[in-house]
Structure 1
Amino acid sequence: MTDAKSNPLHQALFRILRPMARLLLRNGVPFGEFSELVKRAYVEAALEDFSDGRRKPTDSRAAVMTGLTRKEVRKQREILAGENPVRETTSHANRASRVVSGWVHDTGFQASNGEPAALVFEGPGSFSELVRKYSGDMTPRAVLDELQRVGVVSVDVDSGQLHLKQRAYVPTGDSEEMLQIFGEDVSDLVATIDHNLVSSEHGQQPLFQRTLTYNGVPPDVINEWRERAARQSQALLEELDSWLGPHDRGVSGQEGGESVRTGVSIFYFEEPVQTNKSGDE
């Protein structure tokens, strides 16, 4: 096996897996469970992403590519046939997010100035009507409770009207919704990087991928920087959302035709810079 210290891909994988291992251990996921999921991902990638397009991929070919036995490939393929979490897109988080998006973009729930209107809970043009239109089978009360919990919606105690305080639904903690967002965000980032690594070979345009990083920032400016980064990032996302949101079929009411999943992710990071014994970074 290639020495991980001299293999750039292994070094990159270790950096990815280190924080992932912390999250898995915190949530009680042992290595055996993680190993099974990795096998499943290998098998699905071999069967779907490396087909030559002329014939159906076989278990034997997948076994050669992945290093797994044909028996193990067949086992994972059968699991995938009956249960595919990668394609599950109707989560609680997605439905709550769609409600917020509908409130922002649907003219039926906007004020005269184009901003999200204050809504009553029941009746025409109400919050309940918004939820029924955009959340599927979730009850209006359940959606309201969740949006209040995370600070997206407030209730006027005098009028009972509901006000949208934030234009994005972001769950908190290691909830099921937050873990799904974790899966989506990391998957999207890795897919973008993978595309960019091979785009020139396939004659494709690279996707936008940029990071701003400094290693020598003093701690006394971090609070101001954290607030500035959050404020300006939120403003940029809201500007992009105001253009892209109305084009979404779910918001515009368009039916039929092909659809593309697209977007932009922004995330903030900070960590202490490790120093060696000599004091060098």
Structure 2
Amino acid sequence: MENILKYAIRHILKPLVRILHRKGVAVGELNEMLKQIYVEVSEDVLAAAGERPTTSRIAIATGLTRKEVAQLRQAMAVDGDAPTGSYNRGARVMTGWLADAEFLDVEGKPAHLPLHGERGSFAALVSRYSGDMPTRAMFQEMERVGAVQRDAAGQVQLMAAGYIPHSDEAEKLSILGTDVAALMNTIAHNLTTQERSQLHFQRKVSYDNLPVEALPVFKAMVARDGLDLLIKFNAYLATQDRDSNPQVEGTGCMRAGVGIYYFEEPVAAQPEDRNSNDV
């Protein structure tokens, strides 16, 4: 079990370290962040168990010295959760634009919208799907990340079929912090949950002996069918979101969603008889 866990950790950390290496984050800086996170997690676990998260208990649980723990607890923790409101709101606006009949043209495609107007406008779209975000601010943010632009007639034009901020690295790093964490939290939940009915949906399909020529077709299929599925899910969630529908009743405040991602990578050379049925 320990070897399997170490194998998993290496595979999780390697792509992350590639990003950190490119951004100039040194090992020492990452080590300090890990220490801080270990202390925070230990505090959370002890508090959830109804125990007092003392410096001594945290030191024992983390392997750090009492001095290190005391310093880490006293230090101002760096907020690792980058602002993602603009990304979440932008994604909802774009998905509504792709699915809501009021904002589609006669061919069922996202229409070019006037900036203002009570119906069929970008302002109406933003009002319906982004909560209280001002129209101008939403337009400027989506324009900044390359999601929209003005056409020759001055109307707002959708530039992509998904809210992917290709021109803004800071926004991409923000997504890294939320989307990867969401996947890992799902896996962590499923590792510790005994009741099958309480498991979170977690599925994947992949093959590891595909020709390069097969990838463009599959990639296009994922982009098309995956987006259609997300639009279907969005249609339901949009009716339940209190930012867009303040009249929705119910208790608590929950965050829920589904993520679909495409991946491809070369496979290390294998023996020629890898597909042989010989024992």
Which TM bucket (shorter chain)?
0.7 to 0.9
Residue 29 (structure 2) aligns with: 33
Deviation at 1:153, TM superposition (A): 2.4
1:211 is the counterpart of 2:204: yes
Residue 152 (structure 1) aligns with: 147
Residue 194 (structure 1) aligns with: 188
Deviation at 1:85, TM superposition (A): 2.8
- Partners in 2 of 1:149 and 1:243 — Cα distance? 29
Residue 248 (structure 1) aligns with: 241
TM-score, normalised to structure 2, is: 0.80
Q: For 2:244, what is the secondary structure of its paired residue?
A: helix
Residue 62 (structure 1) aligns with: 58
Q: Whose relative contact order is higher, 1 or 2, with alpha carbons under 8 Å and at least 6 apart?
A: 2
**1:258 and 1:89, CA in 2 relative to 1: closer, same or farther beyond 3 A?**
farther
The AA in structure 1 aligned to 2:148 is V
Q: For 1:171, what is the secondary structure of its paired residue?
A: coil
- Partners in 2 of 1:243 and 1:70 — Cα distance? 50
Q: Number of matched residues?
A: 270
1:93 aligned to which of 87, 92, 99 = 87
2:3 aligned to which of 7, 10, 27 = 7
2:43 aligned to which of 34, 43, 47 = 47
Percent identity, please.
37
The AA in structure 2 aligned to 1:148 is E
1:259 is the counterpart of 2:258: no
Deviation at 1:247, TM superposition (A): 0.7
**1:130 and 1:241, CA in 2 relative to 1: closer, same or farther beyond 3 A?**
closer
- Would you say the 8 A contact 1:96–1:135 is kept in 2? no
**1:280 and 1:92, CA in 2 relative to 1: closer, same or farther beyond 3 A?**
farther
Deviation at 1:155, TM superposition (A): 2.6
Q: For 1:7, what is the secondary structure of its paired residue?
A: helix
**1:232 and 1:123, CA in 2 relative to 1: closer, same or farther beyond 3 A?**
closer
- Would you say the 8 A contact 1:102–1:251 is kept in 2? no
**1:117 and 1:77, CA in 2 relative to 1: closer, same or farther beyond 3 A?**
farther
Q: CA RMSD of the aligned region, Å?
A: 3.4
The AA in structure 1 aligned to 2:36 is R
- Partners in 2 of 1:169 and 1:7 — Cα distance? 39
Q: For 1:230, what is the secondary structure of its paired residue?
A: helix
- Would you say the 8 A contact 2:114–2:155 is kept in 1? yes
Deviation at 1:215, TM superposition (A): 0.6
Give 1:174-185 correspondences, 5 Å limit.
175-185=169-179
Runs of 5+ consecutive residues of structure 2 not aligned to the other structure: 275-279
TM-score, normalised to structure 1, is: 0.80
- Would you say the 8 A contact 1:233–1:266 is kept in 2? yes
- Partners in 2 of 1:75 and 1:233 — Cα distance? 47
1:227 is the counterpart of 2:223: no
